[in-house]
C-alpha cells in the first residue's frame, strides 16, 4: 500500500527543469526522507505534491487516488498536510489560536459565521500543543515565540489537519540541538498510520529517523533506498560533495 505515489512529475522554470520526471513511492506508515544538495528540486517537488504549485506533467496519487487535478485545499481535506521551510504562521494570533484555527476546520464542525463555543476544538489544540512541547506557551502571541518554538508550532498546526500524509520541509532548520532532538522524538512517536515525507539537510536527523531515503540531484531521482544503501552509495557522495571526498559528513 502506498500513501503517496508520484509518476513522471515535472516542473520547469524557463529552461531550468527544477523537477524532471520524478517517480517516487512512499509506503503507508513510512518515514521517508528526501535529501539532495541545494537546488536539487526538493522544495519544488514538495510544492508539486502539496498542490501549492501545478506540475507541468506527471501525476500525484494520494493513497491510490489521483489528486493531480485537485487544489491544495482539496488535497489537505483528503489528508495531506505540510509544514513550511520558513515558519509561516499568523502574526496576530497566539499559539493556541493558531492550532485551533486548523483544528476548527478538521474536527468536523462547520465554520460558523456566528460566535460559537467550541470546547472540542480548544481541547484538541491544547493536546497538540502539549504534544509538540508548547503547552506552557499556549497564550503567547506568535511573534513572541522563538524560532525553534515556531517550528514546533508548525508541526502542531500540520498535525491539527489530521493528516494521513505529513510533509515536513526542513523541520529542523535553524533549531538548536536540544530542539532538534525533541523534534526527532516527536516525529518518531507519531502514530504509524501517519506517513511522513520530509526534506532535511541535517543528515544525522535523516539517518536517525528515516526508514527510506530518496536522493534528488538536479531535479532527478539519483537513488531511492534504505538509509544504509544511501550511505554506501558513491554516486550520492559525488552529488553532494563533488569529486573531493569528505566522507566524515556521512560517516561521522
Partner 1 sequence: MTAVEAPAVPGGAAAVTPRAPRGWTGLVTVVVVVVLAAVPLFLAPFATTTLTRILVFALFAVSLDLLVGVTGLPSLGHAAYFGAGAYAAGWVSINVTAEAPVPLLAGAAVGAVAAALTGWITVRSAGVFFLMLTLAIGETMHQLANTWDSVTGGANGLIGIPSVRIAGAPLTNAGFVHWYVLAVFLLGFALVWLVARSPFGTALRGIRDNEPRMRAIGYPTALYKYAVFVFAGGVAGLAGSLLAAQARFVALPDIGFLTAAFALLAVVIGGAGSLWGACLGAALVILVRDALGPSLGGHGTLLLGAVFVLVVYLLPRGAAGVRLRRRGTS
Q: Which residues of this protein are in contact with partner 1, per CB under 8 A?
A: 50, 52, 71-73, 76-77, 81-82, 84, 88-94, 97, 100-102, 104-106, 111-116, 118, 139, 141, 157-158, 160-161
Distance in Å from the first CA to the final CA of the chain: 35
Looking at beta carbons only, is 87 or 221 nearer to partner 1?
87
Q: Which is nearer to partner 1, 1 or 111 (CB)?
A: 111
Q: Order the strands of the 195-199 sheet from edge to edge.
A: 80-83, 165-169, 195-199, 31-35, 212-217, 220-225
- Nearest distance, CB of residue 203 and partner 1, angstroms: 27
Nearest approach, Cβ of residue 172 and partner 1 (Å): 20
CB of 42 to partner 1, least distance (A): 17
Measured distance CA(87)–CA(190) in Å, rounded:
21
Distance of CA 222 to the CA centre of its chain: 20
Q: Which is nearer to partner 1, 112 or 251 (CB)?
A: 112
Q: Minimum Å distance from CB 121 to partner 1?
A: 8
CB of 214 to partner 1, least distance (A): 22
Task: Identify which of residues 52 and 146 has a Cβ nearer to partner 1 in the complex.
Answer: 52
Residue 141 DSSP label? B
The closest alpha carbon to 36, from 219, 183, 187, 176, belongs to: 219
Q: Measured from the CB of residue 18, what is the shortest distance to partner 1 in angstroms?
A: 19
Least distance in angstroms from the C-beta of 148 to partner 1: 19
Largest CA distance in the chain: 63
Q: Which is nearer to partner 1, 139 or 247 (CB)?
A: 139
- Between CA 92 and CA 96, with CA 94 as vertex, the angle to 5 degrees is 140
Residue closer to partner 1 (CB basis): 55 or 213? 55
132 near 98, Cβ under 8 Å? Answer: no
Q: Which helix (DSSP H) or strand (DSSP E) does residue 100 occupy?
A: helix 95-106
Residues 29 and 65: beta-carbon distance below 8 Å? no
Residue nearer to partner 1 on the CB measure, 70 or 135: 70
Which one, of 164, 170, 169, 147, lies nearest residue 53 by Cα?
169
Amino acid at each position: 500500500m502506498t500513501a503517496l505515489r508520484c509518476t513522471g512529475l515535472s516542473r520547469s522554470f524557463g529552461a531550468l527543469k527544477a523537477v524532471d520526471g520524478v517517480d517516487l513511492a512512499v509506503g503507508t506508515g513510512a518515514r521517508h526522507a528526501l535529501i539532495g544538495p541545494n537546488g536539487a528540486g526538493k522544495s519544488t517537488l514538495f510544492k508539486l505534491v502539496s498542490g501549492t504549485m501545478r506540475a507541468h506533467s506527471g501525476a500525484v496519487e494520494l493513497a491510490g487516488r489521483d489528486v493531480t487535478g485537485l487544489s491544495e485545499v482539496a488535497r489537505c481535506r483528503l489528508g495531506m498536510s505540510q509544514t513550511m521551510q520558513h515558519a509561516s504562521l499568523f502574526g496576530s494570533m497566539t499559539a493556541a489560536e493558531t492550532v485551533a484555527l486548523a483544528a476548527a476546520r478538521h474536527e468536523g464542525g462547520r465554520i460558523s459565521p456566528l460566535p460559537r463555543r467550541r470546547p472540542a476544538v480548544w481541547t484538541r489544540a491544547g493536546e497538540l500543543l502539549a504534544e509538540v512541547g508548547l503547552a506552557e506557551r499556549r497564550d503567547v502571541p506568535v511573534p513572541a515565540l522563538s524560532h525553534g518554538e515556531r517550528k514546533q508550532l508548525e508541526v502542531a498546526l500540520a498535525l491539527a489537519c489530521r493528516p494521513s500524509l505529513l510533509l515536513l520541509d526542513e523541520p529542523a532548520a535553524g533549531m538548536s540541538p536540544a530542539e532538534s532532538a525533541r523534534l526527532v522524538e516527536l516525529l518518531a512517536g507519531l502514530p504509524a498510520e501517519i506517513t511522513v515525507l520530509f526534506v532535511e539537510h541535517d543528515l544525522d536527523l535523516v539517518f536517525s529517523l528515516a526508514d527510506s531515503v530518496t536522493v534528488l540531484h538536479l531535479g532527478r531521482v539519483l537513488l531511492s533506498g534504505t538509509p544504509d544503501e544511501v550511505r554506501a552509495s558513491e554516486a550520492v557522495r559525488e552529488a553532494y560533495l563533488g569529486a573531493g571526498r569528505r566522507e566524515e559528513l556521512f560517516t561521522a
